Amino acid sequence: MVVSGDVTFKGKSFGYSQALNFFENTWLKNNGARNRFISCPGNHDKCNGGFDEFDKFLYGIRRDHKFDFSKNSNSILEFDGVVFLALNSSFHLKHEYGLIDLDALKECINKSGIIRKPNIKIAVLHHHLIGAQEDDISTIRNSLPLISLLDDLSFDLILHGHRHSQMSIYVGKNKMQVISTRSLNFDSSRLVNGMNLISYENGDWFSKSMMLSEDNSMVDGLTFR
């Protein structure tokens, strides 16, 4: 389960207790493993000036401190031959746009042996890498060096949130696939609420869109389809 940020809205702490309750009922009670819950903060997750509340939410699900976004702008972990790199594109604490802490990321990569192993590698971050609309200024501002760094490390997949809409592109010499995620409870009448079921077959990634609702009027009563 990958949750690519904006767990709460406008830094409201009660959003984390709602989200914890939601994932306890949907993920943990359906045998979802605690250590297979991967997340990174979004621009709405800065709460009381930092990411302590976000970390507490993640601890509530994972029961470990593998992710510590109040102190670090990135985290690397591995299980079952898959490396996940979770990046906080809101580390600079400005909600208007995304930015990657490249110096910290390079230091983390230099210290981490696992990231150079020939595993499947997936980066998870919140903001989108490439702009799509004239009036959207929130794109990650240093995407190019990030893409170059991940490409050099032979990353396979980049998952991001923030845009609430479907996006799938290939970047870099290794043709890393970039897939946007969906929203679960976004206040919109458009077809944005749902989850993506991502699979890997014969060297290619596939994203199946599962819609939660056409609008938010009956979110509690709807199921995925």
Per CB under 5 A, does 43 bind Fe ion?
A: yes
- Residue 152 vs 187, nearer CB to Fe ion: 187
Whether 137 and 110 have beta carbons less than 8 Å apart is answered as no
Per CB under 5 A, does 62 bind Fe ion?
A: no
Instruction: Report the C-alpha gap between 16 and 114 in whole angstroms.
Output: 31
- Residue 62 vs 162, nearer CB to Fe ion: 162
- Residue 89 vs 177, nearer CB to Fe ion: 89
Provide, rounded to whole angstroms, the least separation between the CB of residue 65 and Fe ion: 24
Q: For tokens 């490409």, name the residue.
A: 151
- Residue 16 vs 83, nearer CB to Fe ion: 16
CA angle in degrees (0–180, nearest 5) for 216-217-220: 80
- Residue 46 vs 121, nearer CB to Fe ion: 46
Provide, rounded to whole angstroms, the least separation between the CB of residue 147 and Fe ion: 20
What phi and psi values does residue 211 have, to the nearest 5 degrees? -80, 140
| Residues 131-170 contacting Fe ion, CB under 5 A | 162
User: Which residue from 15, 41, 42, 60 is in contact with Fe ion, where contact means CB under 5 A?
Assistant: 42
Stretch that binds Fe ion, among 21-29, 37-45, 56-64, 98-106 (CB under 5 A): 37-45
CA angle in degrees (0–180, nearest 5) for 177-183-188: 125
Per CB under 5 A, does 15 bind Fe ion?
A: no
How many residues line the site for Fe ion (CB under 5 A)? 4
Instruction: Report the C-alpha gap between 216 and 103 in whole angstroms.
Output: 41
User: Which residue from 4, 6, 45, 129 is in contact with Fe ion, where contact means CB under 5 A?
Assistant: 6
**40-79 in b/e burial notation, b at 16+ Cβ within 10 A?**
bbbbbbbbeebbebbbebbebbbeeeebebeeebbbbbbe
Residues that bind Fe ion (CB under 5 A): 6, 42-43, 162
